[in-house]
Amino acid sequence: MGDAVTGLLVILVIRGLFAWGGYALAKHKGRGRTLWPILCFFFGWIPLVILAVAPQRPSAEIIPPAPPYDAGKWAALVASDTEIAAGVHQLGAFGERYVTELATIFLSGQDKRRPQLVIADLAAKAKADAAIAADGHELDRLGSGVETLFRTPRGVVAVLKDGRAFAEVGGQLNSFPGIVDYRRAYDDRATWAEITDAAEKRRFFIAARAVLAPSAPPAPMPSPGLAPSA
């Protein structure tokens, strides 16, 4: 009787070692950590050998990418500047990518404006992006009458399919019979870059919603005699 119990205990210990080996190997191989220990417990070395020669699966663990800036310097800057800290809190509500953009701007030192102006611009961009996500089809409908968007020294100029132009001037959107009239009014001889980014286009459509709507009356064209010189 005693020998039988001892023999059973030895068998259980050996099977337990196989199961433990199956668990460790399954974890290393990226395989099922429940199935393989059970197979190894009941069938011994056979599933252990199969698992050993099986290819390793890539880890399913997602490692977040490192931020594209010096995290230590950014943390010190946020801790020492209450205005920037408030901006981090404000922009964080829209998503981490806007905080990342804020950090990149300030740590690069390329934008010399006051923090509140940079934060205000990013907040406006974040709100526009949110509106795009919620109302993308409507914005595309509004923009269906726009032929081309240009980035100019004074702001965005939209050329409509009917030949008219809308231009951002001093934070306001003004209407012109065409881009030639806009250039003449402001003596603009600069080379314009076409805007092709869909998100940037939609942000302009949000700002120009009132004038792009079919029922909206055209905004008045400023007098060339009152236009600022280039």
Q: pLDDT per residue over 117-129, tens digit each?
A: 889 989 988 887 7
Task: Compare 102 and 32 and report the one with higher pLDDT.
Answer: 102
Looking at the fold, whether 153 and 221 belong to one and the same domain comes out as yes
- Per residue in 16-75, pLDDT tens? 888 888 788 887 777 777 887 788 888 777 877 787 777 776 654 545 566 777 888 889
Residues 43, 86 within the same domain = no
- 178 and 134 in one domain? no
63 lies in some domain: no
Is the pLDDT at 105 greater than 80, yes or no? yes
Q: Are residues 177 and 207 located together in one domain of the fold?
A: yes
Q: Are 120 and 87 in contact (CB under 8 A)?
A: no
Q: Residues 215, 151: one domain?
A: yes
pTM of the model: 0.39
Is 62 domain-assigned?
no
Q: Which residue has the tokens 């286009």?
A: 201
The C-alpha angle with vertex 140 and arms to 137 and 143, in degrees rounded to 5, equals: 155
Residues 173 and 219 in one domain: yes
**Residue 125 forms part of a structural domain:** yes
Least confident of 58-67, 104-113, 161-170, 189-198: 58-67
Task: Over range 125-145, report the average pLDDT.
Answer: 71
- What region, left, alpha or beta, does residue 191 occupy, with left being phi > 0 and alpha being psi -120 to 50 degrees? beta
* Pairwise CA distance, residues 52 & 159, whole Å: 66
- More confident: 93 or 4: 93
The rounded mean pLDDT for the chain is 78
Q: Are 102 and 118 in contact (CB under 8 A)?
A: yes
58 falls within a domain:
no
* Structural domain total, the chain: 3
* Nearest in space to 211 (alpha carbons), one of 171, 163, 158: 158
Which domain range does residue 125 map to?
Answer: 71-139
Looking at the structure, tell me whether residues 187 and 220 fall in a common domain.
yes
* Co-location of 186 and 162 in the same domain: yes
> Per DSSP, which regions of the chain are E strands?
146-152, 155-160, 165-169, 172-176, 193-194
Same domain for 128 and 161? no
Q: Which residue has the higher pLDDT, 168 or 139?
A: 168
